[in-house]
Amino acid sequence: MTLVFAYPPMAAPTVGPTATEMLGHDRLVVDVTTTAGDETNVDINHNMGCATSTGDDGSPEIFAVPLTFGTVLADLALTVKNANAVTAAKVNPTGDATTAGSWRVTIKRPYSVGQ
């Protein structure tokens, strides 16, 4: 999977933000793209330092919007890895090699000023 970070603006949009770059921002927006046959999970480092490392308290809030699909519909599973990262995994229900896709993922601090 490849990641292209759309917000906040940063010098290297294919590398996750540092904790310093996330200061003053309430969310991270990243486009996640996978190719057919690519079943590799990827960590999305948001560096927001959430209160828990499990996500049990509902933070961060994670939203995924599909942008494109291959010939077979696939989904994206998102799980909290730790206080600073989320793991994205492509769900390939048929095992078909043509399950390419793109998603826009938004990771947001709850109770943020931007809400």
CATH code at 27?
2.60.40
pTM beyond 0.75: yes
Residue 113 belongs to some domain of the structure = no
From the list 42, 47, 46, the residue with the least C-alpha distance to 2 is 42
Express each pLDDT in 29-38 by its tens digit. Answer: 999 998 877 7
Proportion of the chain above pLDDT 90, given as a percent: 39
Residue 52 belongs to some domain of the structure = yes
Exposed, middle or buried, 108 (CB in 10 Å: 0-12/13-18/19+)? buried
Residue 115 belongs to some domain of the structure = no
Residue 114 belongs to some domain of the structure = no
What is the residue whose two structure tokens read 């994205």? 88
Domain that holds residue 77: 2-108
**Count of structural domains, the chain:** 1
What is the residue whose two structure tokens read 């560096």? 47
